[in-house]
Structures are given as C-alpha cells and as structure tokens.
Amino acid sequence: MGIALERRGPVQILLLDRQEALNALTPAMIDELVTALDAAANDPRVRAVVITGVGRAFCAGADIAVMVDLDVDGARAFAEAGHGLANAVSACSVPVIAAINGFALGGGCELALACDIRIASDQARIALPEVSLGIPPGWGGTQRLARVVGEGFAKQMILTARMVRADEALAHGLVTAVHTPDDLLDAAVAIGEEIATRSPSAVARAKALVNIALGDPIPGLAAERVAFAAAFADPERKEGMTAFLEKRPPGWMTG
C-alpha cells in the first residue's frame, strides 16, 4: 500500500502504510500526500488533517536503496520532491497535525516538522541521521528544526545524528504531548475536533500569520537543496550509503 485515508467527522486522517519499509516515502506516496492535502484544503467539511503511520513507524524517510545510485541532478530532483511535500503541508490552509506513532527518521522527521502541531507516542523515536550517510538533511530539516527547538538542540540532533526519545522531544518542544500508543490517534483527532469548533477562515489566517512570525525559510531551504545535491558528488556520500546497505561502519570510522 501507500497512503490510506480515514475520515472522523471534520478530521481527515492520512495513514502512511508501507510497513515493510517502515513507511519510507516513495515518489508515488509523496504525490498522493500532496494530492490528499490539496483535497482536504478544498473540502469545506474538513477542518483539520492528521498524518500518522501504520505499524511501528511514522515514517523512516526516504529509501536509501533508491538514493544510493543518484547523481547530483537526481539528488536535486529528489530534494525538490521532498521540499514540495513539506511546503504543501506548511502552506495548507487546514491545520495539519503529526501523530508520531514510532520511528520518524530523516524525511519522516522533516515531514513532521512541516506540520503545525506534533504529538507523539511514548514509543516514538525521532532523528535526522543524514550525516551518518555522508549527506546533510535535504527536505527542510536544517531550517525547520532550529525554528522548533532552537539552535543548540537542533545542531546537536543534526550533527550527532542520534535518535531522540519521546520524553526528550517533549522537553525540547519538538512535540507538545506524549501519549500511549493506543491513545495517540484519538488524541490527535481530539485536537482536530477542537480546531473544528473555531472559525475556519480565522484558523487559516492565524496559521498563516504564525508562519510569518517564524520568518521566511525559503532562502535557507533553497541553500539546503543545493547542499544536499552537491553531497552526491562526494565519495563520502557513496561510502556512507553503501555501508548502511551493507550493514557495516563507513570507511571514515574504520580508517
């Protein structure tokens, strides 16, 4: 499967359902998500959107097996697709809530960062592990994470590539609440239902104004896409991704 849809009253739920790959996003899934967000924004019955994953992952980002053979031009197109999805979430007039049920890694973390509200299961694990593969984050992570958690913790997460538990994410404002796995989706829907009791036009305007208050990320996002693509000409990138697929340490660790 790819993207499944479920409606609970005024809340549209988008379920990432590619469990065999920890819900890693394919180009087709990206297109489906963008289409679903556009449909939600244009449906007056939908007042909020929830994005969550099926199984033990929210989204593991992009498939490394797909990225390993990309050249610079292919990487640039890949980054643009991911940025297009994140920008569609950010620009959606309907508030978008991420219910992070499990692993949110790389592009999965970046998808959650583009959402307006993030809540997590106590089993959630969040990371931007790209530097361990020889690349920087490429779907908006370098720009949006610092806006959410501040410069210091953002750099710690990005430069160490370490995985953050739900309680630590809560302490740093990366998520606003932590729930049991059984309660997570209901909690996200409840937020959406509360939003649905407010003026839809006022909600849309308020979301846009808060985004303005955070500053325009577009120049930084453009620089990120360039840096991400340029990394695909670097031997360390090829070594990092090959080592990941072969389940061994990369050469820069072993000497």
- Bridge partners of residue 3, in order along the sequence: 16
Confidence (pLDDT) at 17: 95
β-partners of residue 120 are 100, 178
What tens digit of pLDDT does each residue of 154-188 get?
999 999 999 999 999 999 999 999 999 999 999 99
pTM, 2 dp:
0.94
By the 10 Å C-beta count (0-12 exposed, 13-18 middle, 19+ buried), 188 is classed as: buried
Q: Which residues are the active-site residues?
A: 110, 130
Give residue 216's pLDDT: 62
CB 99 within 8 A of CB 188: yes
> For residues 198 and 107, is the Cβ–Cβ distance under 8 A?
no
Burial of 42 (0-12, 13-18, 19+ CB in 10 A): exposed
97 token code pair: 């809530």
The pLDDT of residue 219: 76
Task: Give the ranges where the chain is alpha helix by DSSP (H).
Answer: 27-41, 64-67, 72-91, 107-114, 141-149, 151-160, 166-171, 181-196, 200-213, 218-230, 235-245, 251-254
Structure confidence at residue 191 (pLDDT): 98
Domain ranges for the chain, please list them. 3-180
3-state secondary structure of 63: coil
Look at 30-44, 129-143, 204-218, 232-246 and tell me which has the smallest mean pLDDT.
204-218
Q: How far is CA 142 from CA 122, 159, 176, 213, in A?
A: 25, 10, 20, 18
pLDDT at 228 over 70: yes
pLDDT at 132 over 90: yes
Report, at the CATH architecture level, how domain 3-180 is classified: Alpha-Beta Complex (3.90)
